Each structure stands twice: as C-alpha cells, then as structure tokens.
Amino acid sequence: MNAAAERDNTGRTTARRRIAELRDELHHHNHRYYILDDPLISDAEYDLLFRELQGLEEEWPDLLTTDSPTMRVGAPPAPEFESYRHARPMLSLANAFDFDELREWQGRVYRQLDLAGEEVEETDPSLEDVTFLAEPKFDGAAIELVYENGILTAGVTRGDGETGENVTDNVRTIRNVPLRLRQVDRKARSIPALLDVRGEVIMLRSEFDTMNRKRGEAGEQLFANPRNAAAGALRQLDSRVTATRPLTFFAYGIGRIEGLEGKPLERQSEVLKALGGWGFRIADRWLRADSLNGVEEFYRQLVDDRESIPYEADGLVVKVEEFRNQQRLGQVSRSPRWAIAWKFPAQQATTVVEGIEISVGRTGALTPTAVLEPVEVGGVTVSRATLHNREEIERKDVRIGDTVIIQRAGDVIPAVVKVIDEKRKPGTRRFKFPDTCPECGSDAVQPEGEVVVRCVNLSCPAQIKERLFHWGSRDAMDVDGLGEKLVEQLVDCGMVTDPAGLYELKVEDLSLLDRMGEISARNLVEALDRTKQAPLDRFLAALGIRQVGTHVARVLAREFGSLEKIMEADQETLEEIFDIGPEVASQVTAFFSRTENRGLIKRLLTGGVAPQWPPEGAGTGVSPGLDFTGLVFVFTGELEVLTRDEAKRLVESFGGRATSSVSGKTDYVVAGPGAGSKREKAEELGVEIINEAAFLKMIGRA
C-alpha cells in the first residue's frame, strides 16, 4: 500500500469511528429531548454536533446509513407511494358510546371465554385471570414501523388494514421515531431481530397552533385541525415538506416480533413498558384495572382533562390485558373481540335546519339528509348532516326551520343529535317522508324488521347509477374512466341498466355521448375488458352484497376458491368461517338465492367476465408443486408484463408474502429495469435476484 492510500485508509477509519460516536450521542440527545422532555445540552450545542456529522457524511458519502440522524431532513419527491402488505392485519376497533355499551362488550368477552355462563359478576373467582388495560385513543394517523435488527426499514400507513402505503422517507423525518432501537435503560429488554411497532402520528396541540400562526402570518392557508394536518403531512410525496411539519409518534402496540430474548411478552402492559425501553414515546397515562369500575373512573378523568391534554384524543381504548385471552377471543371481520374504543362525547355545534333532502342508494335505501345553515364543528365547516331514517326524524321531531345540535367525531358523517325545543319558532314545518321513490315514483316501503324505507323498484335509475358507480370504484372492479358523470349519461339514455350491460358497450355507441370522443370510448372499453379477469374478491365486493366489503370478500375468496362454491354455500357453512358472523352469512345466502342476482351473474359470465382465484388463472387453489408458503418476495424496478399489484396478488395467492423492503428474510428479489438500491441491498445480503421472465416461469406463465 502506497503512502497516499495508507493516509486515505487511516482517515476513513478515523471518520467511521467519529461518525459512530456522533450518531450515538445525537440519538441519546434526541431521546432526552423528544421522549423525556429533559434535554442535557442547548440547541446550539446540538447543532454543532449535527453539523459535524453532516460534514463527515458529505466527505465520506459511502459511510451514510439510513439510521443516521441526518436522514431526518427529508429526501427529494417520490413519484408515488408503493403499496406494502402488513404481515399481520392492522385491525380497526368497534366503538362504545356509553358505559352500558362497554358493559355489554365485557359481557361478550366473558361469555366468549366460557368463564361462568351467561351471567357473570365481576367478583366471580373465575375472572381472576382477566384484567383490562385502558389508554387514550389518539386522534391522528395510524402507522406501522418495521425494524430489522434494530434498524428502521419501513414506515407504512394503515391503509385498508391489510395493505398500506410505504411512507418510510416521511417517517424518518419524525424527530421522535427511533431510526435505530436502543436499550435506553438497564432494565430495558433486549432488542428483537424483527419488530413491527403500531402507533399513531399526531401533532401536539401547541405545535399545531404555532404552525398555523406562522402560516397565517405568511399568508398561507391554515390547517383545519391537528388530525388532518398530521395525515396530510404523512402522505407528502416530498418528504422535505414532511420534515417541516411538527409530527410526533406515539407507540401503543406490536404486530410481529421475532428473536426476543428472555421471557416472552404476555400482557399489553408489558408491551408498553418494552416500547418505552426501546426508545419510543408511549401514552403518558394508562391504567391496568381488574374491573371496568376503574376504567370508568379513568375515562371520567380524561374527559375532564380533555382540553388540557397536550394532544387530540377522541376516546379511551380498552383492551383485554392478557395475550392468551386475546388469542382465545380472536377477531370478527376487521375488529378484534378483545378491544373496544370508548368514544368521548362528540364535538357539537348549534345550527338551523334549512331543508331535508332524500337520496336513494344502490340497495334502494331512502336516506334523509338535513340541509343546514353552515356552521364550523371541530375545524370543519358543516352544511349537511344525516338524519339516518324516517323513524329517527319522527323520534327526534326534526322540523324544517328548527334549531338543532349537530355532532361529528373524526371522519364520521355529521349527525343531528337533538332539537332545541326552546328555540322552535312559529312556522317550522314537519317533514313528510315520501311513500314513493323520489327518483322513479315507485312504492317506497319499510320491510318488516328494518328501520330503513326502500324503493321496491330494482330498475330505479338512482339505484342503477349507484350500483354501476360502485362496480367501477377503486375497491371493486376499479374501472378506469367510469366516473359519476359518465354513469349518469349511460343510465339516463338507457344504454346500461346493470353491470352486465357495461360489457356489452361498443366504441361506436359510446362515441355518441357528450364529451366522449372515439379515443375516450375506446379507452373505456379496453378498461372494462381488463377487468374481465379480475380477482374473485374484487368481483364479490363489486356485486354490492350487504355487509360484504373488501375484507369479507377476500375471506370468502380464500376460503372457497371459486364463485360457484360461494354461491352454493349454505348459512351453516358460512358461519363456520372465523371472520363470518350470522348476519353476514345471512346476507350472502340471501343475495345468491335471488333469481335476479343469479341472472345478473350469468349474464356477466356469458359476457366474458371470469373472476380468478388465485388471481391470474392460477386455479382454485395452490397449483400442484407450487407453494410459496413461507417465501418472501420483493419487486423492484419496472415490470413489463404484470403490474406491481398483480405480481403481489399472485405471490399471496400461492401462500407467499410480498413486501417492499429487502432484508435477510427476503427469499427472492424480482428486479426489472431501473432497479436501484433494493437490488444493491439484495446483492449485499446474498438474496437471490431474478428477472420478471424468471418469475413468470416460476409460476407457470412463461
């Protein structure tokens, strides 16, 4: 080695050592400042250390790593977010709005655990092993953080619970998110090899107010509320913009955990303590209780302190503490049986009802909506509120001209709570609920056992429009170009009366419509043709079966594997499926028992629609000799034959898992043109790299 090379090597070694020291020191000060609120040095001293680290990383760019504190400044804009499938679903919570509903949930928990029959007293000795944990319900944006060997490798939005958006670059800018896990005290548990952390991204009230004040002074548009501001910042394509927003992350749960040394985590309270020990900020107050009496007292305290809490909270999350009991309770549809959200009283405002309008949905339901004098509720201007149904209007005696209290909670549609009788003026008018459909004039009836009034005419234009619009929506068949205006034209001119009619459309017919030239017409026909081979779960969701959304549709597709088997399944068979309850089973069997629905499906199949499961013609189950169970794939670069979503669905249909980050657990990286850092990481880790052609050959589609 010559003298110049030796000096360079010595300098590199010195730089690597100093960079490591600076990173450790800055991580420590970040924890003291953002987690403990107890800084040890001044901002000026911190800035000196930070700038020294930046200088060394600029001088030695190959020593820059993703867990460096300097990564928090953001990266250039991303073209779009990649989808990321959660290893375990991020479930939503059922709600309780009063203590009686919370008691009902507790009763279900006890009965499902078979502890003491139907009637259970909290003093029963069989309940000694059932305790509860209560913690604030943050009103922000739910995310999952993935750590591999203690390093943050992915930050993912909740999405639909099964698949979210990869917003890792944005998450790295959040100051209190650990880029590298640390044992912050001697009692902290060892760092696991793989850890999925669930939590909420929020804006603290004070920081939100400061940010809005500065935006106002600069003449910029103000944000409506901390929740929307946090969610919007998290989904910025340019993470440098995210870095300017004062976001805070609170951790409250764990998805996967592998390689944890010592005693396994057995309780939710142990999870919170472990998360705190690894450097995460957790709720500053939470309660472990043997009964709901203690939970109720905790709830009352939070309600009283609601305005002084430093963050927006919209309720209390109550969980069964013990993991063994959580596992026994399981889940139903998208919600765990072992947890519930006890919501705070919703934010309310007073306004005047200027009118009542009726809309007709795809199932024929006539839904009344109050047209209001605009009023601001929780940072949002509200001019319409649901009245739910006819019985609700009569029970509350809502009249046109009344002064009413309305409320909204989170993203829930505003609702009319009550009429202020003392402010009722002469001249208010009772609303006469129509006995005919306002769209088609057919009879509107209230089926026995229901509170909803429905139009009996399945050919009602309003129902047809809603069904067609739903068919082409993103969560259903995802037909590009089938928007609301086009659907209205197709129905109004009599060209289409049901989804099967969409596949009978010709370019020359569509070209005659307003604002529909030949190119647009051809694009729509081609978009419809592409959906003929749609996955079975999308097809089921598109049919509009009551209570069958994307999750239940996917459960049915995976369980039965073919449309024919689902159509012939009886109530008892459906109820045996873990995620299918009696009500959902009843709706499914009722739908497929109707002659008109079977006729529609027959026309769709005759028209060339052929739902696939597994997707893309892989058969009704795992093909012989092809089983991806336990295999992890990553797709990077451009794919020429498949879309990224199609490729991931194929992997999942054969039992495998498709992720967006490369790790030591990745089995295959499918790399197309333009593959960059993911391919390089795969080479470093020795992960097998194949091209799209090899992947297609692997699944028998070459």
The three state secondary structure string of 657-673 is EEECCCCCCCCEEEECC
Q: Is the pLDDT of residue 105 over 90?
A: yes
DSSP assignment of 275-308 equals: HHHTT----S--EEESSHHHHHHHHHHHHHTTTT
pLDDT score of 37: 53
The predicted structure's pLDDT at residue 15: 86
75 vs 191, residue with greater confidence: 191
Find, among 80, 84, 77, 73, the residue nearest to 51 by Cα. 73
Residue 618 has pLDDT above 50, yes or no: no
Measured CA to CA in angstroms, residue 361 lies from 355, 420, 436, 449 at distances of: 20, 30, 14, 19
Mean pLDDT to the nearest integer, 195-200? 96
Task: Determine the residue type at 172.
Answer: R
**pLDDT at position 610 over 90:** yes
Given a cut of 80, whether residue 579 has pLDDT beyond it is no
The distance from CA 573 to its chain's CA centroid, rounded to whole angstroms, is: 29
How far is the C-alpha of 353 from the C-alpha of 400, rounded, in Å? 5
Phi, psi for 31 (deg, rounded to 5)? -65, -45
Yes or no: say if 59 and 18 are a contact pair by the CB < 8 Å rule: no
In the residue annotation, 697 being an active-site residue is answered as no
Residues 6+ apart with CB under 8 A from 127: 110, 115, 116, 120
Cα gap 84→370, rounded to integer Å = 40
What is the DSSP track for 24-37? HHHHHHHIIIIISS
Choose between 57 and 151: higher pLDDT.
151
**Among candidate residues 340, 329, 341, the one with its CA nearest the CA of residue 578:** 329
Supply the pTM of this predicted model.
0.56
Flag whether pLDDT at 42 surpasses 70.
no
The class that CATH gives domain 132-343 is: alpha beta
The answer to whether residues 362 and 467 touch, using CB atoms and an 8 Å cutoff, is: yes
pLDDT of residue 621 exceeding 90, the answer is no
* The pLDDT of residue 344: 87
Reply yes or no on whether the pLDDT at 437 is more than 90. yes
The pLDDT tens digits for 306-340 are 878 889 898 999 999 999 999 999 887 678 999 99
On the question of a cis peptide bond just before residue 614, with omega within 30 degrees of 0, the verdict is yes
Q: Can you read off the two tokens belonging to residue 72?
A: 């928090």
Confidence of residue 118 (pLDDT cuts 50, 70, 90): very low
CA distance 699 to 702: 8
CATH architecture entry for 3-64 = Orthogonal Bundle (1.10)
Kindly state the percentage of the chain with pLDDT values over 70: 90
- pLDDT per position as a tens digit, 378-410: 667 889 999 988 998 999 999 999 999 998 754
The confidence score (pLDDT) of residue 400 equals 96
As a whole-number percent, the residues of the chain with pLDDT over 90 amount to 42
CA pair distance 511, 519, nearest whole angstrom: 8
Residue 116 has pLDDT above 70, yes or no: no
CA dihedral 276, 280, 284, 289 (to 10 degrees): -50
In this prediction, residue 5 carries a pLDDT of 56
Alpha-carbon separation of residue 87 from 149, 233, 254, 652 (angstroms) = 17, 25, 11, 11
Tens of pLDDT, residue by residue over 345-378, are 777 889 999 999 999 988 899 999 999 999 988 6
Q: How is domain 347-430 classified at the CATH fold level?
A: OB fold (Dihydrolipoamide Acetyltransferase, E2P) (2.40.50)
pLDDT 10s digits, 543-560: 999 888 877 887 888 788
On the question of a common fold for 347-430 and 632-698, the answer reads no
Extract the tokens encoding 94.
Answer: 């059922």
CA atoms 102, 106, 112, 113: torsion sign: positive
Average pLDDT across the chain, whole number = 85
Kindly report which listed range (107-121, 201-215, 380-394, 489-503) carries the lowest average pLDDT score.
107-121
Q: Show the tokens assigned to 633.
A: 């794939």
Coil, strand or helix: which one is 417?
A: strand
Contact assessment for residue 144 and residue 156, using Cβ atoms and an 8 Å cutoff: yes
Q: Using pLDDT thresholds of 50, 70 and 90, give the confidence band for residue 625.
A: very low
Q: Which of 137, 319, 343, 678 is catalytic?
A: 137
The segment with the largest mean pLDDT, out of 67-76, 351-360, 685-694, is 351-360
Asked whether 485 and 462 are in contact (CB, 8 A), the reply is: no
> Between these two residues, 619 and 70, which has the higher pLDDT value?
70
Dmax over CA atoms of the chain, in Å, equals 100
**pLDDT band at 616, cuts 50/70/90?**
low
Looking at domain 536-606, which of 3.40.640.10, 1.10.150.20, 1.10.580.10, 1.10.8.60 is its CATH number?
A: 1.10.150.20
* Phi-psi group of 145: left, alpha or beta (phi > 0 → left; psi -120 to 50 → alpha; rest → beta): beta
3-state class (DSSP) for residue 217? helix
Of 170-184, 435-449, 570-584, which range is least confident?
570-584
Output the pLDDT for position 624.
41
User: How large is the average pLDDT for residues 430-441?
Assistant: 94
Q: What pLDDT does 124 receive?
A: 44
Instruction: Choose which CATH entry (3.30.930.10, 1.10.443.10, 1.10.150.20, 3.40.190.10) describes domain 461-533.
Output: 1.10.150.20
Helix axis angle for 205-217 and 226-234, nearest 10°, is 80
| Per-residue pLDDT at 429 exceeds 80 | yes
Q: Is the pLDDT of residue 265 over 50?
A: yes
How would you classify the pairing of strands 366-377 and 415-419? unpaired
- At 333 the pLDDT is 65
The predicted structure's pLDDT at residue 52: 87
**226-229: long-range contacts (C-beta < 8 A, 24 or more apart)?**
226/139, 226/140, 226/202, 226/311, 226/312, 227/139, 227/140, 227/141, 227/202, 227/312, 227/410, 228/379, 229/203
Of 118-122, 188-192, 391-395, 447-451, the one with minimum mean pLDDT is 118-122
C-alpha–C-alpha distance, residues 14 and 333, integer Å: 56
Q: Which of 141, 98, 373 is nearest to 250 (CA)?
A: 141
**What's the rounded Cα separation, in Å, for the pair 99 and 79?**
47
Tokens of 311: 């963050």
pLDDT band per the 50, 70, 90 thresholds, residue 126:
very low
Mean pLDDT across 235-247? 89
Half-sphere exposure of 420 (CA within 13 A, CB side): 13
- Domain map of the chain by residue range? 3-64, 132-343, 347-430, 461-533, 536-606, 632-698
- Of the given ranges (2-6, 177-181, 694-698), which has the lowest mean pLDDT? 2-6
pLDDT of residue 8: 61
Half-sphere exposure of 690 (CA within 13 A, CB side): 14
**Quick check: 230 pLDDT over 50?**
yes
Predicted local confidence at residue 640, as pLDDT: 82
Question: Among the listed ranges 33-42, 419-428, 448-457, which one has the minimum average pLDDT value?
Answer: 33-42
Which range is least confidently modeled, 90-99, 271-280, 578-587, 664-673?
Answer: 578-587
β-sheet with 194-202: strand ranges across: 151-157, 141-148, 194-202, 248-258
Lowest mean pLDDT among 73-77, 399-403, 629-633: 73-77
The yes or no reply on domain 632-698 and CATH 3.40.50.10190 is: yes
